[in-house]
Structure 1
Amino acid sequence: MSITPLAAVRPAHRTAPLFRGRIGRDARSGHYAVPHRYRLHLSTACPDGLRLAVGHSLLGLDTRCPVTLLPAVPDCSDGGHTALRPLYEASAHHYTGPALDPVLSDDWSGRIVSTHTPDILRDLDRLRPDDRAGLYPAGLESVIEAVERMCAEGMEEAAQRAGRAGADPRERAAALDTLLDTLDRLERRLKGEEYLADGRLTAADIELWVSLVRLDTVHRCHLDASAVHRVAGHRALWAYARRLAAHPAFGRHLDLDGIARRHHGRCQGLEAAGAAVQILDWASHAAHTPGACRR
């Protein structure tokens, strides 16, 4: 598969320290890949939390790595979660910043291992049972990384710029062109294909699916009707999103109300007329299975 990555990687929007511990990589860290030691703290209304929740389910980690679900809207004025503050304070001396999600913690030490979502998902892959397929198959690493970059820069960042209030109209038009070009490339790849890479479900599909959810539930609200019509014209992409929403590991984690509340709490985009109707009816397509994540 040939996907040319864009130059930038996923931008950092954090003001809290970025913890980058790894499981099973550096023996000096003491973070060994053993079951029942680590815990995820996440909100599925957050895109990174949704990525991790889907990956966690696909890897069958309910008993090996429990999940603590956080509220859709953080309960602290600085954008953090009260429930995460003890972990941050135990992990950073005299910590006074926001306690942001998602977090992978070590139940043995009561400290944070990582707050970096791409690393966390790769490390969860090491914790999976032997009977579960991995999300990062050998030989597909470069494809997955290229998709991650395309979704971060060509979809997420471009859609934000295209709908940003106060931006120059020419800048918004250029951002929309970048978004549509990215969608065109992915559309061509998915025509006649079930998944992005080698006919199997991988981390690339998690990345793209969450980006499509965000595009339709958040960024669409700030694009005009003409732009949304052009975005919706990528039929293979939206059929792919619909298929994955029906997969229990994907659709059961969709918190549409939580996504909307989290978005409205921090929204700085344009108010767009004519783009009120979602491209997909996510609620009707999503598979809802009780017990998606255990507290």
Structure 2
Amino acid sequence: MGTDQGSGEFVREALGVAERITADGSSPWPVEAGRYRLVAARACPWANRVIITRRLLGLEDAIGMGVAGPLHDERSWRFHLDPGDVDPVLGIEYLREAYEKAVPGYDEGVTVPAMVEISSGKVVTNEYALLERDLSTQWREFHRDGAPDLWPDPDAIEAVGEGIFHDVNNGVYKCGFASTQQAYERAYDALWSRLDELSEHLATRRYLVGDTITQADIRLWVTLVRFDAAYHGHFKANRHKLTEMPVLWAYARDLFQTPGFGDTIDFDQVKQHYYGVHRSVNPSGVVPKGPDLAGWSVPHGRDDLGGRPFGDGTPPGPPPEGERVPAPS
């Protein structure tokens, strides 16, 4: 992450290992069950997108997952939740070690999600947007029976997803890390203009594109679910709380209560990461006790809008034992 010194605007760093894993021979990395380990973090929305996609498609057996803890330092994401502070499969403490095996002297951002080749310990890719798409298209051989089609209309999904990325997913970071009042207000205005537009769109539609859950919904939801816990206060995105926006709050609860979404979220880790790591924003490192999470289980009422969450597919089963997270309380 960085800030443009001239404008004061937050600038997201380029991805350092933007390879692909493909089934058609178009890359040096072939699709192969058991060859790769997805390294993610419960706190990170970009990783959460891939965690949800993997869950919905039923790829847990084909792609194992390591979970970095919510706290890290300048050395990168760390496996501080695992015994001995070491990932049990990769045998490393810091994710940076896998980046340096891939690119000796690596000096760019160490981000999650990252796909790591287990045998070599090398990061293969940290290109989250291509990865989530490739899980749907390149890994079809390993999808579960009843896996949904998350890309029924790619052009429409990318069109809505582009605005969500710039103004919402990245927009909250632009608010939080702006170093001038002007940069902050530009990001704030763009964020709320886009959320108002999305609220109007979703007032009469259960999902963003068509009548089923698509990748567009995954992209928007990972920011909404973190909104009140982190972005509203920590990043000063404070025109309203999510719970004060009736349409988006009901939409977010609808997905939270859908298998594959809420069962990937650990609110404690979300708060520990944002408030504990971003010392330029929260110098004390004090983590708030709130907000009250009881509302996530309140009925959402959006069934009346119709829609078929999984289309012709079926819901995923429960998360594997080692991947279960505590329910909000």
Q: Could you state the TM-score of these two structures normalised by the residue count of structure 2?
A: 0.71
Matches within 5 A, 1:171-182: 171-182=183-194
Per the alignment, residue 19 of structure 1 pairs with: 17
Per the alignment, residue 154 of structure 2 pairs with: 141
Per the alignment, residue 163 of structure 2 pairs with: 150
Per the alignment, residue 249 of structure 2 pairs with: 238
Q: Does 1:252 align with 2:263?
A: yes
What is the Cα deviation at residue 167 of structure 1? 2.6
The gaps in structure 2 that reach 5 residues or longer are: 1-9, 79-92, 300-317, 325-329
The 3-state SS of whatever aligns with 1:62 is coil
The 3-state SS of whatever aligns with 2:76 is coil
Matches within 5 A, 1:206-225: 206-222=218-234
C-alpha contact (below 8 Å) 2:71/2:77 kept by paired residues: no
C-alpha contact (below 8 Å) 1:151/1:211 kept by paired residues: no
Deviations 1:165-199 (A, max 9, x none): 7532x544443322221011111221132211111
Deviations 1:36-59 (A, max 9, x none): 222201111111111111111001
AA at the equivalent of 2:49: R
AA at the equivalent of 1:221: G
The gaps in structure 1 that reach 5 residues or longer are: 1-9
Q: 1:166 to 1:66 in 2, by over 3 A?
A: closer
Q: 1:228 to 1:150 in 2, by over 3 A?
A: same
Per the alignment, residue 196 of structure 1 pairs with: 208
Per the alignment, residue 44 of structure 1 pairs with: 42
What is the Cα deviation at residue 221 of structure 1? 0.7
2-side partners of 1:51 and 1:135: how far apart?
A: 12
C-alpha contact (below 8 Å) 1:238/1:280 kept by paired residues: no
AA at the equivalent of 1:256: F
Is the deviation greater in 21-30 or in 141-150?
21-30
Matches within 5 A, 1:1-295: 12-13=12-13, 18-24=16-22, 27=25, 29-74=27-72, 76-81=73-78, 82-95=93-106, 99-125=110-136, 126-128=138-140, 129=143, 131=145, 132-137=147-152, 140-164=153-177, 167-168=180-181, 170-222=182-234, 227-228=239-240, 232-264=243-275, 265-269=277-281, 278=291, 281=294, 284=297, 291=320, 294=323
What is the Cα deviation at residue 90 of structure 1? 2.1
The 3-state SS of whatever aligns with 1:237 is helix
C-alpha contact (below 8 Å) 1:216/1:280 kept by paired residues: no
2-side partners of 1:216 and 1:239: how far apart?
A: 14
Deviations 1:62-111 (A, max 9, x none): 1011111111112x433343342442232112446664322112234432
The 3-state SS of whatever aligns with 2:61 is coil
2-side partners of 1:11 and 1:202: how far apart?
A: 28
1-side partners of 2:48 and 2:290: how far apart?
A: 23
2-side partners of 1:171 and 1:111: how far apart?
A: 37
2-side partners of 1:97 and 1:270: how far apart?
A: 24
Deviations 1:224-244 (A, max 9, x none): 797126x65432111010111
Q: Could you state the TM-score of these two structures normalised by the residue count of structure 1?
A: 0.79
Q: 1:112 to 1:173 in 2, by over 3 A?
A: closer
C-alpha contact (below 8 Å) 2:18/2:127 kept by paired residues: yes
What is the Cα deviation at residue 249 of structure 1? 0.5
Q: 1:142 to 1:172 in 2, by over 3 A?
A: same
Higher helix share: 1
The 3-state SS of whatever aligns with 1:248 is coil
AA at the equivalent of 1:291: P
Count of residue pairs the alignment pairs up: 275
Q: 1:53 to 1:112 in 2, by over 3 A?
A: same
2-side partners of 1:225 and 1:39: how far apart?
A: 34
Query: What do you get for the CA RMSD once the two structures are aligned?
Result: 3.4
